[in-house]
Amino acid sequence: MPKIVIIGSGFGGLTAVRTLRKQGCRDPITLISPRPVLFYYSSLIWVPAGQRTEEDLTIPLDNFFKRHDVKHHQGTVIGLVPNAQQVQTDSLRWTLYQKIAGHRSDLRSL
């Protein structure tokens, strides 16, 4: 069972991972997102101009996950059950041991 669950592999989710590890957190982290990639929106304006492709802006995160000891769960979150500390994905229901952003937790201080 994952101890910390982070939803989304955008800058927010990846910053949460880096900050937790930098603070010395060694608890297991599971990150849930539809794909194990970071989409680099900042260069999106260059796609219509033909100077970048969607592929250029899609950064694989396998090395990032390995380096930070993160388990990636491919899926979409469809609901949260804060009282039960559970997050519901389209494929699985995970039990959380720490609450997530918005509740009292380590993540709230990020």
Ligand X SMILES: Cc1cc2nc3c(=O)[nH]c(=O)nc-3n(C[C@H](O)[C@H](O)[C@H](O)COP(=O)(O)OP(=O)(O)OC[C@H]3O[C@@H](n4cnc5c(N)ncnc54)[C@H](O)[C@@H]3O)c2cc1C
44 near ligand X (CB under 6 A): yes
CB of 44 to ligand X, least distance (A): 4
Q: Select 11 or 97, whichever has its Cβ closest to ligand X.
A: 11
94 φ/ψ angles, rounded to the nearest 5 degrees: -100, 145
7 near ligand X (CB under 6 A): yes
42 near ligand X (CB under 6 A): yes
Q: Please, which residues have CB within 8 angstroms of residue 76's CB and are 6 or more apart in sequence? A: 32, 34, 89, 90
CB of 65 to ligand X, least distance (A): 13
> Using CA atoms, how far apart are residues 106 and 33, in angstroms rounded to an integer?
21
The single-letter code of the amino acid at 88 is Q
Which residues of this chain interact with ligand X, rule CB under 6 A? 7-13, 32-34, 41-42, 44, 76-77
